[in-house]
Chain A
Amino acid sequence: MRRTLIESLFRGKLTEPAPRVGEAEPMALLTELGETARGRLGRSLAIRELDAGSCNGCELEITALGNAFHDLERFGLKFVASPRHADVLMITGPLTRNMLEAMRSAYEAMAAPKFVIAVGDCACTGGVFAGSPACIGAAAQILDVDLRIPGCPPDPVTLLKGLIGFANALASAPTHRSTQS
């Protein structure tokens, strides 16, 4: 183990520069945010990831955000274990009927102000599962969605662009936004 540790010390970082977040990014960012949100959240976001019936492809790429190349915590973004600790509910999958109640419970457990991010084509539109009698479809059918990050699955850099852009929008939001209960 000693050799591995010493080599890791001298190998240099794997972490790469942050992706540039341009105006052309396909993001429906929120326009109004409360002073409270800005004061409380600042430039940090606690995210509760919720798999609402995905194929697991999105989860693989979301997990990859934590590896040494992307290292999302340096941007003030972190995944938390409980919705009670979360500012953001990140939803993947075409919202199956069997996950509806769990998704509602998780959302209700979050303290306001709270936000919803739909990740992947399934959570954005239902994807290839749209129209299935076992699925409800896009997360927006049930919850107000603040940001959509499409892709099947979106790659980690696309995810980072969306999340950093979202955190920036939150931090610089000029006006009030009613907090959702």
Chain B
Amino acid sequence: MMIDQATWQEAAADLASGASVFVALWAEPAGDGCVVHLAGRPRGSGDVGVLSLMAHDRHFPSIALHHPGAILMERALCDLHGLIADDTPDPRAWLDHTAAYAFKPAIGPGIHQIPVGPVHAGIIEPGHFRFSVNGETIVRLEARLGYAHKGTIGLMRGQTIGHAAKLAGRISGDSTVAYAYAFACAVERALGIVVPPRAAALRGIMAELERLANHFGDIGAICNDGGFPLMNALTAALRERVLRLSAACFGHRLMMDRIIPGGVEADLTEAAAALIRTTLADLLTQWGRLSELYEKTASLQDRMVTSGRLDPAIARRLGCGGYVGRASGQDFDARRDAPYQPYDTCRFTVPGVSAGDVDARIQIRMAELDQSISLIRDLLATLPTGPLRAALPDTPITTGHALVEGFRGDIFAHVRLRDGLVEAAMLRDPSWFFWPALETAIEGNIVADFPLCNKSFNPSYSGCDL
């Protein structure tokens, strides 16, 4: 909806007061200017609204001035479109690495800096961390990203829906199912179509398998960074079994390109469904022992409990979703609060704690593992028969958006279609709010605990570098 500057300012005030939750900020060229879009939702609701403002002379009133959670997105869209956010608190470039960059200072006796990245010691994504430390203690962390900036959103413009869906599925590889899902839902809402019940159920099964694989892998990796590699060796085997199960059932270990606008690409045979049932039963038995191992290992608990605490007030302010938000007192899950097929008819509970530390984020993930297994079982038990796809009608111009719960949290997707092509799109990763949350949570922790804290947030780099 096109609005004027006064309404834009009212929306910013609602974000600042906490009445609404920031979802995304993006822009697209329009004539000799740009249209800036702001997505938000009322607190406690998944009902996302989008406001659009014409940025004359490439200027628009800063949202970040009122709501710091929008800083990174404001910086990114300034780089992408040459837009100027008037009075923004942080005008530094973000994706444009040709611009000079000054890290935020930390001044005091004995404070020095440790630069890390963009090439890290492990097999992970590229990013740069600048630690300001006093002895062992971190007094400030600034993450600088943009190294994985591929121009993905720009590449989607003018493409067919099918090709844009492939690009969406490669915004963050570990969430490829969730991204394809979110993009597909946005397209389907734009076109006013409902996917067949069997396709909807299969989507839910794939999304929960993806959640399982990531939670298994990450819980082990966090423990590994906490000096307990045994847990990692055992959970990595569980993750591998989920990936093999996914390949056996849907033909791809990460299930890339299996969810498509209109439905799904792959069907599930009766034999594959039986394989899921038996594998899940076995995984559940093994996982039960590992969660006990986690709970009862004092050396591990010593590293996890109280480390990297994210204050619930900050989680609320930033609008953190997923296991990060739910570990810091935020009760939001798109599967429940912005219901979409098949979750609108599923029974599940959303776990929540408020300790906000590394242990709390692991607790949430452990609870979600159990939920995912039970959701997959329920979906298999009631798996409908029928077609896998609905046809996509031709329409001159339509827009749609969706909120889908990936393993990290809610992914927002927005599309505008014109004559069967994608005219504009936006996909927002939960990590946009995890990065600033991590920067605050790490303060006062020691450098040696950074990998463990970072992994417990596990923000995506590629997902934000777009």
Contacts and interface: CB of A to CB of B under 8 A. Distances in A.
Nearest to A69: B240
A145 B174 CA distance: 27
B75 interface: no
Contacts of A5: 230
Contact of B150 (A1, A50, A53, A81): A53
B215 interface: no
A69 B123 CA distance: 18
A68 B237 contact: yes
B430 interface: no
B234 A56 contact: no
A169 to B, nearest CB: 23
B319 interface: no
Interface string A69-84: 1000000000101110
B172 A132 contact: no
Interface in B225-269: 230, 233-234, 236-237, 239-240, 243, 247, 253-254, 256
Nearest to B163: A128
A67 B237 contact: yes
A43 B173 CA distance: 32
A125 B119 CA distance: 22
A39 interface: no
Contacts of A14: 237
A54 B146 contact: no
A35 interface: no
A127 B462 CA distance: 15
A68 B236 contact: yes
B167 interface: yes
A106 B120 CA distance: 11
A132 B230 contact: no
B239 A67 contact: yes
Nearest to A79: B123
B248 to A, nearest CB: 12
B391 interface: no
Contacts of B124: 51, 59
Nearest to A62: B123
Contacts of A152: 170, 256
A97 B147 CA distance: 8
Interface residues of A, number: 51
A69 B243 CA distance: 12
Interface string A14-33: 10000000000000000000
A162 interface: no
A96 interface: yes
A12 interface: no
Contacts of B143: none
Contacts of B254: 57, 60, 153
A94 B217 CA distance: 25
B155 interface: yes
A155 interface: yes
A54 B176 CA distance: 13
Interface of A: 1, 3-5, 7-8, 14, 49-64, 66-69, 79, 81-83, 93-94, 96-99, 102, 105-106, 127-129, 131-135, 152-153, 155
Q: Which 9 residue pairs spanning A and B have beta carbons closest together?
A: A57-B173, A134-B151, A81-B121, A55-B173, A67-B236, A56-B173, A132-B151, A53-B148, A55-B170
Interface of B: 95, 97, 118-119, 121-126, 146-152, 154-155, 163, 166-167, 170-174, 176, 217, 230, 233-234, 236-237, 239-240, 243, 247, 253-254, 256, 289-290, 293, 296-297, 460-462, 465
